[in-house]
């Protein structure tokens, strides 16, 4: 498995692409008639400025942390952050106590819950939510996002990072259709769902996922996905995320694609 959160095993040369939402955009529209964001010139300072503005001195909830390669600006600025993880021991981290040590001198709490049902977290609890390379691992992403939105305060933010498929082992796969995600949501599937497995096995580029081993080992691990949560159930793009944002009734704020990271920020309204 390619580990996005820890040290990157490969170097990518994909130029940063920024997209911003314009009300006067007359370009192609998505399912909900939301204009697709235009590409605009930008740099990492823009993203860091936005992240600082919306997290400085605030309380945050991370899903599936820690994320040392992508979360530094957020960790430095947030007043306190808690972490929801589906198990005390995962492929990415081990949480041996109830404390979340996400940044030097800062300690939050670890909450062991599936992020599609965080019943122990009260409504409107956090100023923002951060999920770095998590949503693609969830079989019912719309259910998860409604749950994530629930625990964020009104006018709070959801800060998401999804993998850019062209520079990872998903590059042979098509971007997922919103209708498929909606069908999963309406059927209320749980995280044992493997409805995308055949397509994944056919198109997953094992040459870019060396830790997954042989095809048979990858298939065996994939059949145990409920225990390890390694599968990328769906493939995302900024356009798909725009459709999702409108469906869950969040306001689009900013998106930028930087190498393997599609940053997407939306606001609870």
How buried is residue 75: exposed, middle or buried, by Cβ count under 10 Å (0-12/13-18/19+)?
buried
Cβ contact 164:14 at 8 Å: yes
Residue-wise pLDDT tens for the chain (269 aa)?
Answer: 333 343 332 223 343 444 443 333 222 233 334 444 544 445 578 999 999 999 999 999 999 999 999 999 999 999 999 999 986 666 656 666 788 999 999 999 999 999 999 998 999 999 999 999 999 999 999 999 999 999 999 999 999 999 999 999 999 999 999 999 999 999 999 999 999 999 999 999 999 999 999 999 999 999 999 998 999 999 999 999 999 999 999 999 999 999 999 999 999 99
Instruction: Tell me the pTM.
Output: 0.85
CATH code assigned to 17-164+233-268: 3.40.50.150
Closest to 174 in 3D by CA, of 165, 183, 184? 165
Cβ contact 61:146 at 8 Å: no
Phi-psi region of 153 (alpha: psi -120 to 50; beta: other; left: phi over 0): beta
Cβ contact 148:125 at 8 Å: no
Q: Reduced to 3 states, what is the DSSP secondary structure of residue 192?
A: coil
* Count of positions (residues) in the chain: 269
For the chain, the domains span 17-164+233-268
Looking from the CA of 129 toward its CB, the CA atoms found within 13 Å total: 29
Looking from the CA of 102 toward its CB, the CA atoms found within 13 Å total: 32
């Amino acid at each position: 498995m390619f580990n996005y959160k820890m040290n990157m095993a490969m170097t990518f040369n994909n130029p940063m692409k920024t997209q911003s939402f314009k009300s006067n955009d007359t370009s192609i529209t998505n399912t909900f008639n939301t204009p697709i964001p235009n590409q605009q010139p930008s740099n990492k300072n823009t993203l860091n400025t936005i992240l600082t503005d919306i997290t400085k001195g605030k309380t945050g909830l991370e899903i599936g942390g820690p994320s040392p390669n992508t979360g530094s600006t957020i960790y430095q600025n947030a007043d306190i952050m808690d972490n929801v993880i589906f198990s005390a021991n995962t492929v990415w981290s081990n949480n041996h106590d109830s404390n979340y040590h996400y940044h030097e001198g800062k300690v939050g709490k670890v909450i062991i819950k599936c992020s599609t049902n965080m019943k122990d977290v009260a409504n409107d609890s956090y100023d923002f939510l951060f999920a770095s390379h998590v949503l693609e691992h969830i079989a019912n992403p719309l259910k998860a996002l409604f749950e994530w939105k629930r625990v964020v305060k009104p006018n709070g933010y959801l800060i998401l990072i999804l993998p850019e498929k062209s520079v990872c082992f998903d590059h042979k796969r098509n971007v997922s259709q919103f209708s498929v995600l909606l069908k999963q949501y309406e059927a209320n599937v749980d995280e044992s769902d493997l409805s995308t497995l055949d397509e994944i096995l056919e198109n997953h580029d094992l040459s870019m996922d060396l830790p997954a081993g042989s095809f048979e080992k990858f298939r065996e691990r994939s059949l145990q996905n409920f225990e390890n949560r390694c599968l990328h159930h769906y493939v995302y793009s900024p356009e798909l995320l725009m459709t999702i944002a409108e469906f869950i009734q969040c306001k689009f704020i900013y998106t930028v694609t930087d190498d393997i990271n599609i940053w997407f920020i939306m606001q609870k309204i």
